[in-house]
Structure 1
């Protein structure tokens, strides 16, 4: 029994489990302290017209996620990814300081973009983390080095900002980050990439601890740009590394031939939502970067769902889409997988359109009802005044 215990204690599975638990416990312990400091120093987000919250709320939850994740990750020695992990941690630290400064002082979008590009280049160039193969999608296989560099940096920037855009209601971004990180982490663990598996477990645990307060009514805290930048970067790291490793494991039975498409499916909510709102804004001849309430999570809230219910719908959408895609496209051609992805996007757009149409009808009906009530009360008021 003792031998079995020590074998499990020294196993990578034990490291992954403990990393998750320690990250969650550290996050839960640290966040109340951050809430108190934020309240004392007035580091709060005040509600604006398109906000989904009604009162000033602390925004430095990402600080707890950052600290909890790194503390739990560095409990173990994980040498299998070598320099890539070291460079990734360096990029995460850079984005952490960018996020903290933006949460406190508000930075210009261009400055934020330059730092994001720099942090991405660090892992893409020095860590040789690139999208090298498109697995026959659009008839493209190997991607030349000179093209793979800007393509991979674009993917990093797009995913970082897509994750930031879905941070509009309680629990959504934290839950999606936890689920997507967990799904990638399972694959990394099964394929013996334990450093990435531990990093995924640490992030998932930290986000789980954060969600406990993000949904709280008495001690609420938001992720802020600190958290969304870090989580977005790590998910981009996982997605690109997942694609890269599947090229190397092309003849391994555990590999996923449509790896780029599966990576999109795992991150379906931020990617589809960003595409959708950009299409709508361009159609309405507006800048794609001007914020509004056209996101699917806003439509769900406007339809009467609570923050938890709206987030739960999109969490389930991520999990079900991923499982169905893995099951359906296991032995399918890459072209078939691409068709399935396009079909899923059409379904997403259709549901969002129906929700928006229904919300507009409900609003119009409410306005007519209110107007009718006012007109009914007006004569009574006039008679009372004459009397």
Structure 2
């Protein structure tokens, strides 16, 4: 019996499950305290014109996600990734302090970018975490070291900020982070990369606990830049490591051939949404970094969906697209997968276009109805005044 207990206790799957549960419980326990402190110190987000919330809301939910993720990860010894994990934790701590300072004081975009680059270089250069192969996409296989460095840093920065951009409605960023972390975590576990699987489970559990309050009406809290920076970095870490590890499995018929494409699909919502809004802003001759309400989640909200319903639509899109591409990638050439990825982006763009046009049409209809009512009211008032004058 004792031997069975110790065998079960030392099982990697047990460690991963416990890490997820502890992270979720820690997050649920810590967030009410953070909410109270945030309200006492007035560390809240005040609604503005493009906001999706109507009352001042605490913004330090990322502090709970950070603490819960690391506490649950360090419950066990996870030596299989070695130096890379140590460097990644260091980078996460750097981004945590950057996020907290930005949530409280608001930093200049350039300073934030420099620190993000520094944190990314930490794992790219010292941890040798690089996109070394494109698996034949665009006819490119091996990527030279001198090119892989800036390419990988760019991917980190792009994904960190793409995740930040989708943090516009309740549940979306937290849910996407939880799902993507879970999908990467499953692959890492099945391929015996237990440290990364444990980190993925810890982050996903922490985000699940956060969602309990993010959807709350009485105890609502936002992730803030603290959370979006950390989650974005961890997802970028998973995506790049997933691509890097798949190089050694590339000739296995049971493996994922188009690893870069599948990594994009797992993170399809932040990547597609960022590309779409940047294209629209550039088309309208505006800076791609100026905020607006062109994000798909805003269009879904404007079409009448609740925050939960809009988030559920995009969560489902992530899961369905991933499962579809996992099946296709086992049977299709990389070129075919790339064409399908482009087709999926086209569908995403078309759907968003239809939503926007429908919302504009509905808004115009409401505007005309208001004008008609105003015109009718004005005529009635004139008629009453005339009757009064006659009397």
Q: Which runs of 5+ in 2 are unaligned?
A: none
Q: Find the aligned partners of 1:333 and 1:60 in 2 and give their Cα distance.
A: 45
User: Which residue does the alignment assign to 2:287?
Assistant: 287
CA distances 1:297-327 after superposition (whole Å, capped 9, x unpaired)? 0000000000000000000000000001111
User: Which residue does the alignment assign to 2:38?
Assistant: 38
Greater Cα offset, 68-77 or 245-254 = 245-254
Q: Which runs of 5+ in 1 are unaligned?
A: none
Superposition pairs of residues 182-261 of structure 1, within 5 angstroms: 182-261=182-261
Q: Find the aligned partners of 1:121 and 1:178 in 2 and give their Cα distance.
A: 25
Would you say 1:93 and 2:93 are equivalent positions? yes
Superposition pairs of residues 73-112 of structure 1, within 5 angstroms: 73-112=73-112
- Give the secondary structure class of the aligned counterpart of 1:299: helix
Partners of 2:214 and 2:222 within 8 A in 1: yes
Q: Find the aligned partners of 1:148 and 1:92 in 2 and give their Cα distance.
A: 22
Would you say 1:301 and 2:288 are equivalent positions? no
Superposition pairs of residues 255-334 of structure 1, within 5 angstroms: 255-334=255-334
- Give the secondary structure class of the aligned counterpart of 1:134: strand
Partners of 2:255 and 2:330 within 8 A in 1: no
- Give the secondary structure class of the aligned counterpart of 1:55: coil
User: Which residue does the alignment assign to 1:160?
Assistant: 160
CA distances 1:262-289 after superposition (whole Å, capped 9, x unpaired)? 0000000000000000000000000000
User: Which residue does the alignment assign to 1:8?
Assistant: 8
Q: Find the aligned partners of 2:366 and 2:5 in 1 and give their Cα distance.
A: 64
Cα gap change, 1:134 to 1:321, in 2 (>3 Å): same
Superposition pairs of residues 41-56 of structure 1, within 5 angstroms: 41-56=41-56
Partners of 2:84 and 2:123 within 8 A in 1: yes
Q: Find the aligned partners of 2:384 and 2:45 in 1 and give their Cα distance.
A: 47
**TM-score, with length taken from structure 2:** 0.98
- Give the secondary structure class of the aligned counterpart of 1:54: coil
Q: Find the aligned partners of 2:296 and 2:178 in 1 and give their Cα distance.
A: 19
CA distances 1:108-162 after superposition (whole Å, capped 9, x unpaired)? 0000000000000000000000000000000000000000000000000000000
Q: Find the aligned partners of 1:53 and 1:5 in 2 and give their Cα distance.
A: 49
Would you say 1:121 and 2:114 are equivalent positions? no
Instruction: Figure out how many residues of one structure are paired with residues of the other and give that number.
Output: 387
- Give the secondary structure class of the aligned counterpart of 1:141: strand
Would you say 1:336 and 2:336 are equivalent positions? yes
**TM-score, with length taken from structure 1:** 0.99
Greater Cα offset, 370-379 or 141-150 = 370-379
Q: Find the aligned partners of 1:41 and 1:383 in 2 and give their Cα distance.
A: 57
- Give the secondary structure class of the aligned counterpart of 1:256: coil
Q: Find the aligned partners of 2:45 and 2:385 in 1 and give their Cα distance.
A: 46
Q: Find the aligned partners of 1:116 and 1:333 in 2 and give their Cα distance.
A: 35
When the two chains are superposed, the root-mean-square deviation of aligned CA atoms in Å is 0.9
Q: Find the aligned partners of 2:298 and 2:112 in 1 and give their Cα distance.
A: 25
Q: Find the aligned partners of 2:111 and 2:255 in 1 and give their Cα distance.
A: 39
Q: Find the aligned partners of 2:339 and 2:253 in 1 and give their Cα distance.
A: 23
Instruction: Give, in angstroms, the shift of residue 329 of structure 1.
Output: 2.3
Instruction: Give, in angstroms, the shift of residue 2 of structure 1.
Output: 5.0
Greater Cα offset, 331-340 or 128-137 = 331-340
User: Which residue does the alignment assign to 2:20?
Assistant: 20
Would you say 1:57 and 2:57 are equivalent positions? yes
Cα gap change, 1:252 to 1:8, in 2 (>3 Å): farther
CA distances 1:202-223 after superposition (whole Å, capped 9, x unpaired)? 0000000000000000000000
Instruction: Give, in angstroms, the shift of residue 8 of structure 1.
Output: 1.9
Cα gap change, 1:132 to 1:109, in 2 (>3 Å): same
Q: Find the aligned partners of 2:384 and 2:46 in 1 and give their Cα distance.
A: 43
CA distances 1:333-381 after superposition (whole Å, capped 9, x unpaired)? 1001100100100110010000000000000000000100111111222
Q: Find the aligned partners of 1:218 and 1:103 in 2 and give their Cα distance.
A: 21
Partners of 2:254 and 2:330 within 8 A in 1: no
Instruction: Give, in angstroms, the shift of residue 253 of structure 1.
Output: 4.5
